[in-house]
A and B are shown apart, each in its own frame.
Chain A
């Protein structure tokens, strides 16, 4: 009930997907999301002063305002508006399987909107943001930058992407991990239709290099609920393999398999400190932003 009420405050992804440009979509999502918050809870290093707070053991000594100490003989630390120089890389899966959609929005459209919104949010927070699109290899790569004009470049790149071929998540992960020279954050947006262990190994590669990772596992509601009822010939979007099946018979086995896959990701990624978020394309994109911000806050 509470969750439903919360979700009604957000935009329907299918509605967002019908908006014109990615920039408009991103702005609509982020501005709406931020306007819903009373105040930014994400405080940190910033050039803009926010408030004083009494020193608590463990606070960084450099944040103590000595002038205040001189006047009041008490230790206060200065709080500033948030500012980072975080490098964030958005990795968007554009393999053919991302083209599936059943509720007016495909997984790819959902991922694009999410990437655009994250890019917009990062840019707004002056984080450097890069973009890497991949299918079985890296198709497009935009280095991270915090310049104001970079957001436009990122959105244009996103809008020009087309669905590719088969998924091979692990290979681009390793490629990107090898290319990163600076610690930062990697946001993976994918349906993770690949061998889970290979994917997990790729993500651990980032961790090994000190990069935080957030995984947005995007699935269509059909893939989670398997609502088919008639005997159906299922064609694979990537391999064009065909399976004829009676859903009523297959459903329990399928749901068990997809549940085990999700649990596997959740368990394995959680055990190595990687944030894993499963999103159905019917869930509001704002929830993904919230998840990102939570992770980012921890990362700082």
Chain B
């Protein structure tokens, strides 16, 4: 039985009143020495025991009457069989990220997870998910706890980084509108939340944190780069004491040299190793007690093939139609030019296929002139398969075409006509400077406000995130997620037409970061993180041969662990929960509507009031006899 207004059940506490009165008025038994007891014996004596029973019955009837009254006000109803069958769910989310591969850490995590299964309320379905970059449902919610324990037993720590958002979102989906608890078994690593990450959890779900504890002291290779015939390795000491790090270089499976450095507690140091000619290299550090997975980092020395960015313009002549964007992307850094840029006319995409498109790390669309349906579908599929697109909504971009290409996630309206010249300057203002797109600017992100946008498109969406706004309030940069890929939409152009962005120093890093961000870490082309490993390659560190696309030669890529996993920074439970957005439980709201309808059909309160009246009549009769 359920109640529509269960708060009225508090009124049942009034049932204590007759009990209290009964206790207060209770008198000790009177004893009298009497001479003619035999005459009493002859009389039909009402024995005290019987009277006591009758009084208890009266008390019970009065208590029952009050309880029934409270119950009637609480509007009870019999839940439908489907609803009655709804039980709670406990989802155990087990962190299997790299940081938990330190000796003893994952065993402890497994034990905590098993404890959580054992603690789950009786009758609750229990499910197990393991998570790092992605989420794996190890055991779907069911009453079979042995299955859940078995899934936990078979889980192992991997090489990917922890992503709490994906884990919590998956767990919330598995709750499926039911009440439940999400037990997150983790080491609370700070980098598990990306900047701006928000997990969406129903407000009815409870989140419990099972803290595995701080990982042991650890040495990690967090970066390796080849520069000027040398190999530079960055070594981090994530421990409370200074340590001597011994670093070894292996080039094409042959020792390439050693290096050493003394690194202070929680500090990093660069170790320069002699350069060597070869194809692949790996750098390792001696660390028998820490996380093993981050003791090595791999590098492809043959970096002739830089990641390619496809610029879609009206005719494909990037030197004329995308001059600034092209030069921003090919601008050389410490390691040479960041990207190769290939231009194509929008109409030419009609002859392309998916394989040709996937050879490019990212696509920057500056024109939709002539972009036919096939091209639009090709681009949409490219994003769904994990590709990244940057759309600059300039004069050459048709809003409807771009919206269709983005799967209808976004609405793009042409720039409004301004009747009078604006007196204020329209500039760019990031919504969250911690977002990867703006992290590169650091404290200098305010320099973005120096860019003046004369014309803009009106971009709006309910499903995409706003990363930056114009100072006049309109959306400036929006991020949409489609399948495995990302799209960034800039509500202005990139060719010095509607704004003076290309003439500012912030343009080059913005372009490169935008492409890097939409390409999801694949920007280097020859180096991937474990979580972003291309399809067909194992999700573990090493150097692997990427299956060639048609007409191309095989390419070697290095897959490394996310260096963020070597960061020992930890969250407090409060900080963890601060990144969780509580969603109003729509399923529960719908359930309440159903409950109300059920209650109105049944009208149980009327029957209960009837029973209460009957109880009071019986009480009156017995009370009259007892008086």
Q: Which chain A residues have a beta carbon within 8 Å of chain B's beta carbons? A: 97-100, 107, 191, 193, 220, 222-223, 228, 230-239, 241-246, 248-250, 253-254, 257-258, 261
Quote the shortest CB–CB distance from B236 to chain A (angstroms): 86
Q: How far is the CA of A98 from the CA of B464 in the complex (A)?
A: 104
Q: B35, A245: Cβ atoms under 8 Å?
A: no
Which candidate, B47-55, B84-92, B610-618, is the interface stretch facing chain A?
B47-55
B154 to chain A, nearest CB (A): 71
Closest chain A residue, CB of each to CB of B28: A230
Residues of chain A with a CB closer than 8 A to B49's CB: 244
Beta-carbon contact of B30 and A232 below 8 Å: yes
Assuming the contacts A236-B38, A258-B39, asked whether A250 and B32 have C-beta atoms less than 8 A apart, the reply is no
Please give 16 more A-B residue pairs, beta carbons under 8 A apart, in addition to A244-B48, A248-B627: A97-B36, A98-B35, A107-B35, A193-B36, A220-B35, A230-B27, A232-B32, A233-B30, A234-B34, A235-B32, A243-B40, A244-B45, A245-B45, A245-B48, A246-B46, A250-B46
Chain A residues with Cβ below 8 Å from B44 are 249-250, 253
- Whether, in the assembled complex, B43 has its beta carbon less than 8 Å from a beta carbon of chain A, the answer is yes
Is B553's CB within 8 Å of the partner chain A?
Answer: no
**B30 to A235, Cβ gap below 8 A?**
no
Decide: A239 near B37, CB < 8 A? Known: A234-B32, A246-B51: yes
Per a CB cutoff under 8 Å, which of A100, A228, A231 touches B35?
A: A100
| Main SS class of interface, A | mixed
Would A228 and B32 count as touching, CB distance under 8 A?
A: yes
User: Would you call B335 an interface residue if the criterion is a C-beta within 8 Å of the partner chain's C-beta atoms?
Assistant: no
- Among A228, A231, A253, residue most surrounded by chain B Cβ atoms (within 10 Å): A231
| Contact A261 B39, beta carbon cutoff 8 Å | yes
Closest to B44 in A: A253
Tell me, rounded to whole Å, the shortest Cβ–Cβ distance linking B131 to chain A.
71
Query: A260 vs B48: C-alpha distance in the bound complex, in angstroms?
Result: 26
Q: Which of A193, A242, A249 has the most CB of B within 10 A?
A: A249
B window 504-555: CB within 8 A of A: none
Bound complex: CA A242 to CA B30 (Å): 12
Q: Identify the closest chain B residue to A252 (Cβ).
A: B43
Instruction: Tell me, in angstroms, the Cα distance from A241 to B40 when the chains sit together.
Output: 11
Would you call B45 and A233 a contact (CB within 8 A)?
A: no
Find chain A residues with CB under 8 A from B334 CB: none
Q: Does B119 contact A (CB under 8 A)?
A: no
**Residues in A whose Cβ lies below 8 Å from that of B46:** 245-246, 249-250
Cβ of B29 under 8 Å from chain A: yes
Task: Name the A residues within 8 Å of B627 (CB-CB).
Answer: 248
For B37, the closest partner residue in chain A by CB is A236
User: Is the pair B37, A246 in contact by a Cβ cutoff of 8 Å?
Assistant: no
| CB-defined contacts of B38 to chain A, threshold 8 Å | 193, 236, 241
- Which of B36, B41, B46: most chain A Cβ within 10 A? B36
Chain B residues lying within 8 Å of A193, measured Cβ to Cβ, are 35-36, 38
B47 CB to nearest A CB, Å: 5
A233 to chain B: which residues have CB within 8 Å?
29-32, 48
B42 at interface, CB cutoff 8 A: yes
B39 near A254 with CB under 8 A, answer yes
Tell me whether A257 and B32 are in contact in the complex, defined as CB-CB below 8 angstroms, given that A233-B48, A244-B48, A246-B48 are known contacts: no
For A241, the chain B residues whose CB sits under 8 A away are 37-38, 41
B contact residues around A238 at 8 Å (CB): 35
Residue of chain B at shortest CB distance from A244: B48
How far is it, in angstroms, between the C-alpha of A220 and the C-alpha of B32 when the chains are bound? Answer: 14
A230 proximity list for chain B (CB < 8 A): 27, 30
CA distance A207 to B36 in the complex (A): 28
B residues in contact with A245, CB < 8 Å: 40, 43, 45-48
Query: Out of B27, B29, B41, which one reaches A243, CB within 8 Å?
Result: B41
Bound Cα distance from A231 to B627, whole angstroms: 12
Centre residue among B32, B33, B37 by max chain A CB count within 10 A: B37
Q: Inside 8 A of A228's CB, which chain B residues have their CB?
A: 30, 32
Chain B nearest Cβ from A256, distance in angstroms: 8
Residue of B nearest to A242 (CB): B37
Cβ contacts under 8 Å, A98 to chain B: 35
CA distance A246 to B625 in the complex (A): 12
Question: B208-243: contact bitstring with A at CB < 8 Å (1 yes, 0 no)?
Answer: 000000000000000000000000000000000000
**Complex CA distance for A58 and B195, rounded to whole angstroms:** 142
| Known interface pairs A245-B46, A246-B46, A257-B42; A235-B51 also in contact (CB < 8 Å) | no
User: Shortest distance in angstroms between A292's beta carbon and chain B's nearest beta carbon?
Assistant: 24
User: Which residue of B is nearest A228, CB measured?
Assistant: B32
Distance A250 CA – B34 CA, assembled complex (angstroms): 14
Q: In the bound complex, do residue A100 and residue B40 qualify as a contact, i.e. CB atoms below 8 Å apart? A: no
User: Looking across the interface, which residue of chain B has its beta carbon closest to that of A250?
Assistant: B43
- Are A244 and B36 in contact, with the CB atoms below 8 A? no
Known A193-B35, A261-B39: A243·B45 in contact at CB below 8 Å: yes
A249–B626 Cα gap in the complex (Å)?
9
Of the A-B pairs whose beta carbons lie under 8 Å apart in the complex, a sample of 11, sorted by A's number, is A231-B30, A235-B33, A236-B34, A237-B34, A241-B37, A243-B41, A245-B45, A245-B47, A248-B627, A258-B36, A258-B39
* Chain B proximity of A113: nearest CB distance (Å): 18
Taken together as a complex, chains A and B put the C-alpha atoms of A243 and B562 apart, in Å, by 90
Quick one: CB contact mask for B3-46 with A, threshold 8 Å, 1 for yes?
A: 00000000000000000000000010111111111111111111
